Structure 1
Amino acid sequence: MQSKSEANGTAVTEFILLGLVETPELRPTLFVLFLFAYLVTVGGNVSILAAILVEPKLHTPMYFFLGNLSVLDVGCITVTIPSVLSRLLSHKRTVPYEACLTQIFFFHLLVGVDCFLLTAMAYDRFLAICRPLTYSTCMSQVVQRILVAMSWACAFSNALTHTGAISTLNFCGPNVINHFYCDLPQLFQLSCSSTQLNELLLFAVGFIMAGTPMALIVNSYAHVAAAVLRIHSVEGRKKAFSTCGSHLTVVVIFYGSGIFNYMRLGSVKLSDKDKAVGIFNTVINPMLNPIIYSLRNADVQGALWRVLMGRRTVA
């Protein structure tokens, strides 16, 4: 373990990430799996983004938000997986203190934007189904851009708050993290100083960042469900529900894994189960999103096929 100057208040200058497996023989297999997941995620999300850009049918608010979500998914997996792949190749498990905090900042920035974008998409579905006459006004291009800008601003404040707060903690050993990337719960366990305020901050800000969006999403879909049930045509109901099914699936997976990871601090000792949740947060979620949205949407499937075939639709 290395040391910093005492004026810095931190004795540890690097952390050791144990990774997913201890057995050296399993590392090549793990490298192939993670590389495959990374390439599929980037390729899938870039394809969705390309389809939205070239297909006039998809130039709507819902797909504007979905395009932004695809960019975030690529960013989210890029913050963590390339460094994991590098460590698997080099067998080097150390990560500098500053790099660890940088990873935490960008991870929470991108996940935070995800929270608000999913809320904006639920609001879009509410307006489209429950307020169709005012939809074009309430969800104009200006409104869409404002919602995205506000999402980034709020998420930036959240990420900066947590990164600033954890940088005030002292780390004097041990410096071993039983995980494959840096995150707040794991660093809390290693701190030599009290993390009570940090944990309270995580709960309080988490309630704002996750609780409020979840409440808005539930409220939006409660109104959507009531409106859809009033539709007499079975075909009409199916069409209305199909436009919301993909989004709801992504919401459940995203918030389910997030709540398990951050809302149980102090209840149990962090263990290998957290690695599984970490895989969901950093790999599975970004990889599933393009699959979920394309499987249930004929317009997206058609646009993806035309992108792959190099064809363009005339507007």
Structure 2
Amino acid sequence: MPALALLLCALALLVSALAGLALGPVRIAPGEVLDIVLAGPGRSDGAFAAIVWDVRMPRVLLGAVVGAGLAVTGAVLQALVRNQLADPFLLGASSGASAGAVLVIVLGVGASIGLSLPAAAFAGSLTALVAVYALARRGGTMSTGRLILAGVAVQYVLAALTSLVLVLSAQPDQVRSVLFWTLGGLGGARWDELALPAAVLLTGTALLLALARPLDLLLAGEEGARTLGLDTGRFRAAVFVLTSLVIGVVVAYSGAIGFVGLMVPHAARMAVGAGHRALLPVSALAGAVFLTLADLVARTAAAPEEIPVGVVTALLGGPFFLWLLRRSSRAEGISG
């Protein structure tokens, strides 16, 4: 079953990537797109080749990398906090990464010490995750209600910080840039910016796959995991750092995109179960498919205007979150 799910997700990714390359303000026949791609970069002449290789290909690849990263980290965070409502966006990690990136872009914070945009986004993501986890955990337990409230509180603080930075900015043209970080978008994708997020995604996913068994142990509960020899405190701290790194780097190039890490892992669990050795790769491929298609909708639904892809994922993810919250509240209550 996992092998079949992986195969179907891989085929779906190829189809969605082909659609992303073919569709847009200028439509290109799928057969012609395949000819251009198979010929390789720089080996086809004409406007269509330039559109495919210079404009759409980097955007499709970035969407696949970001979608995979958010889905994988969402699945891991749900195991770490043992809560099905956990998500990089809902736990404030994406907002923290955006806030760190905005500080560097607008105020130049960290420029004097060589702090790069991905590093600032990583620091913001890790700070937000640790803050939410500390606020939500009380007496050794963590309820759904406290987790949601902590995530909302941290997001409000980060949103206020981002707004303050914007107000203090002396350059009005930076409003659009800050809006990008708060709503998310893939329009700025460039070939020279793909290597870092792709490398971090592949390395991070490989390391998380190596930790599949301890992640499975956490599903048995805190005491059960300790009984089986897992140092839960150190393990959580190490995985929080690793997931924050992946989230920070992908958000540094895409802005805050919500609900991918919430919806995709749930769909993957229905297909392959809760075991992380199968769940993580299926989530990665499914996340890549989901965000590639969401970005296609974002740039074609209101053409020639472009909708931020974060708006599209929120329109899809909001109702899903409410359904999931309702189901979770029936199971355990939303009292803190």
Band of TM-score, shorter chain: 0.3 to 0.5
Scaled by the length of structure 1, the TM-score of the pair is 0.32
Tell which structure's C-alpha radius of gyration is larger. 1
Scaled by the length of structure 2, the TM-score of the pair is 0.31
